[in-house]
């Protein structure tokens, strides 16, 4: 419920439109109650010998109430929808501003597309939080308090009957509806999860399934899962319709109860017969404002889930005073640093102790899955160490602004983002005022001189080979100078001749900078000033290449294995 309190506080910041909506909604509700009450009373007195001028007054009053009700309803709808859009604007700016600083951390918990879809969909769901969750019960409560007070003037028993129906409608029915929805929603979520998983398997593995002659079977299973999901979702929809039906049943029941009590009291002489029609029509119209409560459980449940998910991805961490990183080449020190992916039993990085000297070339080596990339991400603060301590320039990494660290860093990760457009567009991601001459020079330095700046790049770089993507990523780096270079397998997929040239170019461009070069190619380690060797997520040794080879430890064993493989 804390999450909904946060949403409520954001909604109530739109004070003007919220209060105007409540005011006009209350006016329209009370005008409707007065209209039908006066109509009922007019019907009764018209059957008696009532002076024509009194009837005329009531007729004029009823017409006036009708106009007032219609006008107030129109203004209420106009203002409430204006409030909805203002609230949506505030929700968007609030949650996306909270989300942006957390993106690096969240990308390791959620797939990128899922994260964007999740936050966008949840924010959109909350746009009707005021109109469908907060406003209906509040308006219904205020109107019904007036109605109950009015009934108490004529009959305490009728007032009690309306009060009981009011409590059932406001509290009991929505609570039961929310309980049923939670049960149904778990089933829908599980069915949707199975459907999405199987659909992703078929889409991404279509070629392999076709070659294995399994595609038809997987498509059949997908159709069956889709059918099950549709049936489960239809069941949830039926539950919602049943909730609305029960809501109407309560409204009709109170009308019959009021009618019965009024008839009994009139026959006993406790109530004037002229008021019976008025009280019956009042009971009918009083619960008109309860109609939105029929779908209240659904919207409340959706809002609670959306708010919970948004809180999960944007929850505030303990704040620390952060400073900008110095422009000097940094040093890094790891003190028993560790990192666990959520839900994983074994750590990806375990009790790592290492030193990355400033203005030196450090190679991080190890077998696949040893934790090299995780170590790089922890140093970059893309991941936050779950154990131990990481220091930059001798101070805790948590005290340094991640944005300032990234601003001072040239990064080449294993996955590179390419966007639909041209080569020029994809090179100008960081530096927007670079001349074409500088862009062409960067392409030449990256052994990608065959590219034209106007050459088309398709979405996600689909028309680029692995080597082309890697060389264009290096061209991006050559356009920006930085005191820190973080390179994760920067020469993977590049032909041997180009590798030699690019390695020399990188060594030239990174002279006097701090370089962390992740690789499993031991030939790229020999020229490094410092070597860190990882095994099963742990730093097993570090030092200069010559020292480590002399010790005859893990690096020496890896080199010997490589030598034996080449000889074989």
Using a pLDDT cut of 90, give the percent of the chain over it: 24
| H-type alpha helices, 100-172 | 103-106, 112-125, 135-154, 156-167
Could you tell me the residue ranges of all domains in the chain?
A: 1-312, 332-567
How do residues 337-381 score in pLDDT, each as one tens digit? 999 887 677 888 999 999 999 999 999 998 888 889 999 999 988
Same fold, 1-312 and 332-567: no
Say whether 101 sits in a helix, a strand or coil: helix
Contact 537, 349 (CB under 8 A): yes
**In this model, does residue 408 exceed pLDDT 60?**
yes
**Angle at the Cα of 102 (from 99 to 106), degrees rounded to 5?**
100
Contact 45, 8 (CB under 8 A): no
How do residues 504-561 score in pLDDT, each as one tens digit? 999 999 999 999 999 888 888 888 999 999 998 999 999 999 999 999 888 888 888 8
Q: Report d(CA 286, CA 304) in Å as an integer.
A: 29
The fold of 332-567 is Rossmann fold (3.40.50)
Q: Tokens 């019959």 sit at which residue?
A: 256
| H-type alpha helices, 47-134 | 52-99, 103-106, 112-125
Q: What is residue 106's predicted lDDT score, i.e. its pLDDT?
A: 61
Per-residue pLDDT band at 314 (split at 50, 70, 90) = low
Q: Which CATH architecture has domain 1-312?
A: Up-down Bundle (1.20)
How do residues 229-257 score in pLDDT, each as one tens digit? 888 878 777 777 777 788 888 888 988 99
Cβ neighbours around 59 below 10 Å, total: 14
Q: Report d(CA 568, CA 565) in Å as an integer.
A: 5
**In this model, does residue 186 exceed pLDDT 90?**
no
Q: Report d(CA 75, CA 229) in Å as an integer.
A: 41
Contact 478, 446 (CB under 8 A): yes
More confident residue, 186 or 388: 388
How do residues 47-101 score in pLDDT, each as one tens digit? 776 778 788 888 888 889 889 989 998 998 899 888 888 888 888 888 777 776 6
């Amino acid at each position: 419920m804390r999450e909904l309190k946060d949403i409520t506080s954001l909604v109530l910041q739109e004070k003007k439109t919220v209060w105007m909506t409540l005011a006009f909604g209350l006016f329209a509700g009370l005008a409707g109650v007065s209209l039908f009450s006066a109509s009922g009373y007019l019907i009764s007195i018209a059957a008696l010998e009532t002076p024509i001028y009194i009837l005329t007054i009531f007729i004029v009053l009823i017409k006036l109430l009708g106009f007032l009700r219609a006008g107030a309803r129109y203004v209420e709808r106009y203002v409430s929808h204006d409030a909805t859009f203002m609230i949506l604007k505030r929700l968007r700016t609030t949650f996306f501003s909270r989300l942006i600083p957390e993106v690096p951390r969240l990308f390791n918990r959620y797939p990128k597309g899922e994260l964007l879809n999740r936050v966008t969909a949840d924010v959109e769901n909350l746009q009707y939080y005021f109109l469908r969750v907060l406003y209906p019960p509040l308006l219904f409560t205020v109107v019904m308090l007036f109605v109950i007070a009015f009934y108490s003037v004529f009959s305490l028993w009728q007032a009690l009957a309306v009060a009981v129906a009011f409590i059932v409608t406001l509290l009991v029915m929505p609570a039961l509806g929310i309980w049923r929805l939670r049960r149904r929603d778990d089933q829908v979520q599980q069915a949707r999860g199975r459907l999405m998983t199987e659909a992703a398997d078929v889409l991404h593995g279509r070629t392999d399934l076709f070659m294995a002659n399994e595609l038809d079977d997987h498509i059949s299973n997908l159709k069956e899962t889709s059918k099950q999901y549709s049936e489960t979702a239809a069941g949830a929809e039926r539950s919602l319709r049943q909730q609305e039906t029960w809501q109407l049943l309560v409204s009709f029941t109170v009308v019959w109860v009021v009618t019965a009590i009024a008839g009994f009291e009139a026959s006993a002489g406790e109530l004037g017969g002229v008021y019976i029609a008025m009280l019956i029509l009042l009971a009918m119209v009083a619960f008109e404002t309860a109609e939105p409560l029929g779908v209240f459980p659904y919207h409340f449940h959706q809002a609670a889930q959306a708010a919970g998910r948004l809180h999960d991805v944007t929850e505030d961490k303990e704040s620390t005073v952060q400073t900008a990183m110095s422009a000097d080449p940094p040093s890094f020190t790891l003190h028993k640093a560790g990192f666990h992916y959520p839900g994983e039993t074994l750590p990806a990085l375990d009790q790592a102790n290492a030193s990355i000297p400033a203005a030196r070339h450090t190679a991080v080596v190890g077998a696949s899955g040893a934790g090299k990339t995780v170590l790089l991400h922890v140093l970059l603060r893309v991941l936050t160490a779950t154990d131990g301590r990481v220091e930059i320039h001798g101070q805790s990494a948590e005290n340094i602004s991640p944005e300032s660290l990234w601003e001072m860093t040239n990064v080449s990760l294993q996955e590179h983002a390419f966007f639909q457009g041209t080569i020029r567009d994809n090179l100008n991601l960081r530096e927007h005022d670079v001349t074409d001459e500088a862009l062409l020079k960067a392409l030449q330095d990256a052994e990608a001189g065959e590219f034209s700046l106007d050459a088309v790049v398709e979405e996600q770089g689909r028309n680029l080979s692995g080597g082309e993507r890697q060389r264009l990523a290096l061209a991006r780096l050559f356009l920006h100078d930085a005191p820190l270079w973080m390179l994760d397998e920067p020469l993977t997929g590049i032909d041997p001749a180009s590798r030699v040239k690019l390695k020399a170019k990188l060594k030239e461009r990174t002279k006097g900078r701090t370089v962390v070069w992740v690789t499993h190619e031991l030939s790229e380690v020999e020229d490094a000033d410092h070597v860190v060797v990882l095994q099963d997520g742990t730093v097993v040794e570090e030092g200069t290449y010559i020292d480590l080879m002399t010790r005859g430890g893990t690096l020496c064993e890896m080199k010997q294995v490589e030598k034996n493989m080449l000889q074989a």
